[in-house]
């Protein structure tokens, strides 16, 4: 996933094309699910920005704009974070993110996109920042999950809890998943 953000995102970057394919496949199969879900139609979207100082806009924002035509983007910005201790950077910290001026989320259903879920702390922190700014609902969608067996409890999770392989046809926001888990 990390190579899709290379200096030249777009059709000449094979990694970017794979990410675009994942996003397009999701959009074709599940776009209608976002509005038909139990939280009601979506009003806006946001993308979890990088804490590493990568300039905006996030490379995935163009893909999301294509998948959600007419849905406004919420400008979510990242606070400068010291490169220090990795565990500290992975802590739940809503203050790492803020809705930039002009971003209106009060009472809205916002879909929050992230490219990769490693620990979930950046995603959860960004979702909390949106809620603190007044978002009524935040639906999260992540393109990829990174599971390294040597990190924390991942080995046990991989062997004991992953009971079915990834299936793009299973809706990540549909009612049937809410009832299962």
pLDDT at 26: 76
Q: Determine the average pLDDT of the residues in 28-37.
A: 77
Q: Can you state the percent helix, strand and coil of the chain, rounding each to 5?
A: 40, 15, 45
Residues in contact with 44: Cβ distance below 8 Å, sequence separation at least 6, in sequence order: 71, 72, 73, 74, 104, 105, 108, 109, 110, 111
Read off φ and ψ for residue 35, nearest 5 degrees.
-80, -25
Closest by CA position to 130, among listed 154, 151, 104, 155: 104
Query: What percent of the chain lies above the pLDDT cut of 90?
Result: 18
Question: Tens digits of per-residue pLDDT, 91-106?
Answer: 888 988 999 876 789 9
d(CA 94, CA 89): 12
Contact 58, 50 (CB under 8 A): yes
Is residue 164 very low, low, confident or very high in pLDDT (cuts 50, 70, 90)? confident
d(CA 122, CA 93): 8
Predicted TM-score (pTM) of the model is 0.80
Residues in contact with 6: Cβ distance below 8 Å, sequence separation at least 6, in sequence order: 13, 15, 16
Q: Helix, strand or coil for residue 82? A: coil
- Show the tokens assigned to 12: 């000449």
pLDDT at 78: 85
pLDDT at 181: 33
pLDDT at 180: 35
Q: Determine the average pLDDT of the residues in 40-59.
A: 81
């Amino acid at each position: 996933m990390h190579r899709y953000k290379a200096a030249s995102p777009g059709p000449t970057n094979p990694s970017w094309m794979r990410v675009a394919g994942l996003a397009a496949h999701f959009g074709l199969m599940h776009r209608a699910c976002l509005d038909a879900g139990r939280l009601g139609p979506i009003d806006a979207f946001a993308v979890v920005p990088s804490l590493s100082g990568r300039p905006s806009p996030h490379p995935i924002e163009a893909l999301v704009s294509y998948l959600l035509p007419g849905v406004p983007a919420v400008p979510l910005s990242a606070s400068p974070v010291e490169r220090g201790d990795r565990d500290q950077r992975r802590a739940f910290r809503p203050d790492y993110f803020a809705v930039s001026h002009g971003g209106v989320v009060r009472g809205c259903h916002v879909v929050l996109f992230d490219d990769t879920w490693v620990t979930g702390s950046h995603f959860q922190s960004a979702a909390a920042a949106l809620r603190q700014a007044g978002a009524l609902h935040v639906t999260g969608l992540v393109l990829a999950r990174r599971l390294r067996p040597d990190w924390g409890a991942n080995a046990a999770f991989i062997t004991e809890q992953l009971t079915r392989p990834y299936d793009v046809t299973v809706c990540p926001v549909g009612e049937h998943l809410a009832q299962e888990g």
